[in-house]
Amino acid sequence: MFYREAGDFKTSYVDDNQTFPIKFDRYRYYVVLFIAFAIIPFLLNDYWVNAVFMPFLIYAIAAIGLNILVGYCGQVSLGTGGFMAVGAYSCYKFMTGVDIWWGGELLFRLPEFNIFFSVLMGGVMTALVGLLFGLPSLRIKGFYLAVATLAAQFFLVWLFNRVSWFYNYSASGQISAPERTLLGVAISGPSAPAWAMYLFCLVFLAVSAIIARNLTRGSFGRKWMAIRDMDIAAEIIGVDPLRAKLSAFGVSSFFVGISGALFFAVYLGAVEVGEVFGIQKSFLVLFMVIIGGLGSIFGSFAGAAFLVLLPVFLKNFLVGGLGWPTDLAAHLEFMIVGALIIIFLIAEPHGLAQLWRVTKEKLRLWPFPH
Amino acid sequence: MNDMSTEGYVTPDGRKIGGVMMEMKNITLRFGGVKAITDISFDIREGEIRAIIGPNGAGKSSMLNVISGFYVPQEGEVWFRGTKRPQMKPYQVAQQGIARTFQNIALFEGMSVLDNVMTGRLTHMKTGMIAQAIWKGKAEQEEVENREVVEKIIDFLEIQAIRKTPVARLPYGLKKRVELARALAAEPKLLLLDEPMAGMNVEEKEDMSRFILDVNDEFGTTIALIEHDMGVVMDLSDRVVVMDYGKKIGDGTPDEVRNNQAVIDAYLGVAHD
């Protein structure tokens, strides 16, 4: 009853092209935005930010990025962890001032970038690296491309471990984010307030989602999807596969890089590359995209929420609700999450986004389906 | 009608056909040791409906693939609008204004009908990535302009009702029509149709024939088509090329071809002694 299309007539193509063509959807979207920006920051405490909101926001950006590549352009990538590491390390270098050496001498040192621009540069540098590792996609497809991106994953982690320039020659081999402020409020470092970190990530997520949506509904999105659905036909109707695939790699890596930068600078504060940006991270983000729904921006949010919230919820429920010992709960949590993923994918192989779509179709006619 | 060597001619139904648009000169195409096309030359004129016919395996589809740049012939030249075409990638050929449909439908199954037809406009959409990301302004304006063109084609082919339907849900006949819409959306100068009526019943064939004639008539699009239904070919086309075993065995108006002994032999078989 609430969710209706009937009587909602479009009189221009601009109206018809909206992200949320149905009025109810549109208002719901504004309400969600309002709650996220104006209400949640006042209710936050450290636990909620660290356990729920920050991982969700940051993984959602990564999932959007990977969804553009895998879901929209159909190029499988297992290098997400490596690309996030590129974002994190670029962000670190730009935060602390990039030093350029030549022949054992310091040539020059860039000034330290503001945290906002450091994160942005994390995205830009990752986009460049993504373009480079996207080149094989012109020749190889499917599983073979996945293996090629796997090489990127291992190479990048190795690089950040070995080359001490990347971690500013620190003895531990770790990078840790110094305190940086934006408009007088600390964003990174141990004393950054929860609401500031939350809002900082939220702004990046909101802008990323809007950009991703705009790109995917326009000519770039159609090029990507054409390549995904039938690359030969796409080429015959005038899509340059080189540019289409590389642009997907670039845009995707940009978002993944931003998420890596935020993950390091704002969320964790200190990072050891092999531990944080290993192959598990690549799979985690890929699962988010698959469970959420390939080729759907909403699906990226849903998948990130599912895989971030489910463990938290299970832990609270098993330990807090049923009074189980923590270690037992921790082990069972893995089993339950794994089982849920399998059950879920059997029930709805197209992911949460498809489930949401079907629900909407049904709601549209409810309560008179005939 | 006899004097075809000079500029243009007039068809029996009074349409004026212009000069040579595309000329294939001595095309030979080999796959390893197999000769798919042997030394074939023919031309396609402005505003013409040109059919390529022949028994199965004659090399018709290979010929179409040569025209659309998908195969590169080992010998011979392709001339398009007065200039010799250098070796090109298929997408560059598309940008020159050659669009095509496929024998086995090659639509983008994951997209809606509207998005499929809009992909046909990609050669006309030039906004950069930054403008697309911002959307408001240039990108949106371009989208709306192209949408208007696409909507005209959707009207023309009478597929308004299914515009938002995912292509994967459509029946075969409609898919064929959507594919034609996608090719037309590019506003091509030359439209290549690979068996547009394969697997259709009589009514669908009639519809499709009507669309082909209308496209030629209203948009002035030059059409080259491959078809097995002889009735359709003879009714629609202005001139026919007949191929058999990769060689050209006939070329001319439907009447000339129908009475060509080599063509009759190829289709009906000939007694060997």
CA angle (B136, B138, B144) in 5-degree steps = 85
Q: Is B95 on the interface with A (CB under 8 A)?
A: yes
| From B102, B106, B133, residue closest to A215, measured CB to CB | B133
* Distance between CA atoms of residues B191 and B102, nearest Å: 11
Closest chain A residue by Cα to residue B188: A237
Sequence-separated (6 or more) residues with CB below 8 Å from residue A78: A146, A147, A149, A150, A153, A279, A282, A283, A286
pLDDT at position A67 is 93
Beta partners for residue B42, in sequence order: B24
Å between A251 CA and nearest CA of chain B? 10
Which residue does chain A place closest to B66, by CA atoms? A236
Tokens of A152: 């990127």
- Cβ–Cβ contact B125 with A under 8 A: yes
Distance CA A46, CA B98 (A): 61
Counting one residue from A and one from B, how many pairs have CB atoms under 8 Å apart?
107
- Residues 6 or more apart in contact with residue A262 via CB below 8 angstroms: A57, A58, A61, A119, A200, A201, A204
Q: What is the pLDDT of residue B83?
A: 87
Query: What confidence tens digit (pLDDT) does each residue in A102-140 have?
Result: 877 777 878 888 888 989 999 999 999 999 988 888 888
CATH fit for domain B1-97+188-273, picks 3.40.140.80, 3.40.50.300, 3.10.450.50, 3.40.640.10: 3.40.50.300
Q: E-strand spans in chain A?
A: 99-102, 105-109, 175-176, 181-182, 185-186, 270-271
For A25, the token pair is: 């959807």
The helix or strand, by DSSP H or E, that contains position A361, with its residue range, turns out to be helix A351-365
B90, B133, B143: residue with CB nearest A235: B90
Q: Is B130 on the interface with A (CB under 8 A)?
A: no
Q: How far is B160 from chain A (nearest CA, A)?
A: 14
Where exactly are the structural domains of chain A? 1-43, 46-278
Rounded Cα distance between B78 and B75, Å, is: 10
Is A241 an 8 Å CB contact of chain B?
yes
For residues B112 and A125, give the distance between their C-alpha atoms in angstroms, rounded to a whole number.
35
ipTM of the assembly? Answer: 0.86
- In order along its 273 residues, chain B shows pLDDT tens digits of 444 455 678 888 778 888 888 999 999 999 988 888 999 999 999 989 999 998 888 888 999 999 988 899 999 989 988 888 888 888 999 988 999 998 888 899 888 999 999 998 888 888 888 888 888 888 888 888 888 899 999 998 888 888 888 898 898 888 999 999 999 999 899 999 999 888 888 888 998 999 999 999 888 899 999 988 888 888 889 999 999 888 888 888 888 888 888 888 887 777 766
Count of alpha carbons within 13 angstroms of residue B108, beta-carbon side: 33
At residue A1, the pLDDT reads 47
pTM for this structure? 0.88
C-alpha distance across the termini of chain B, in Å: 39
Which residues of chain B are within 8 Å of residue A295 when distances are taken between CB atoms?
110
In angstroms, the first-to-last Cα distance of chain A is 14
- Residue B46: CB atoms within 10 A of its CB come to 19
Q: Is A11 on the interface with B (CB under 8 A)?
A: no
Q: Token digits for B126?
A: 């030039």
Question: Which residues, listed in sequence order, are joined to residue B22 by a DSSP beta bridge?
Answer: B44, B80
Listing DSSP states for A181-238 in one string gives EETTEE-SSTT--HHHHHHHHHHHHHHHHHHHHHHHHSHHHHHHHHHHH-HHHHHHTT
* Sheet with strand B20-31: strands edge to edge: B34-45, B20-31, B75-80, B83-84
Query: From CA B40, how far away is CA B38, in angstroms rounded?
Result: 6
Would you write out chain A's pLDDT as a tens digit for each of its 370 residues? Answer: 456 666 667 777 777 777 777 777 788 888 888 888 878 878 888 788 888 888 999 999 999 999 999 989 988 889 899 999 999 999 998 888 878 888 777 778 788 888 889 899 999 999 999 999 888 888 888 888 888 889 899 999 999 888 888 887 887 878 887 877 788 777 777 777 888 888 899 999 999 999 999 999 888 999 999 999 888 889 888 888 888 999 999 999 999 999 999 999 888 888 888 888 989 899 989 988 988 888 888 889 998 998 888 888 888 887 877 777 888 888 887 888 788 878 877 887 788 888 888 887 777 777 776 6
Q: What is the pLDDT of residue B13?
A: 79
Give me the residue spans of the domains in chain B. 1-97+188-273, 117-186
Tell me the sheet residues that pair with B20: B45
Closest chain A C-alpha to B127 CA, distance in angstroms: 8
The residues in B 164-223 lying below 8 A from A, measured between CB atoms, are 182-183, 186
Chain A hits for B142, Cβ within 8 Å: 219
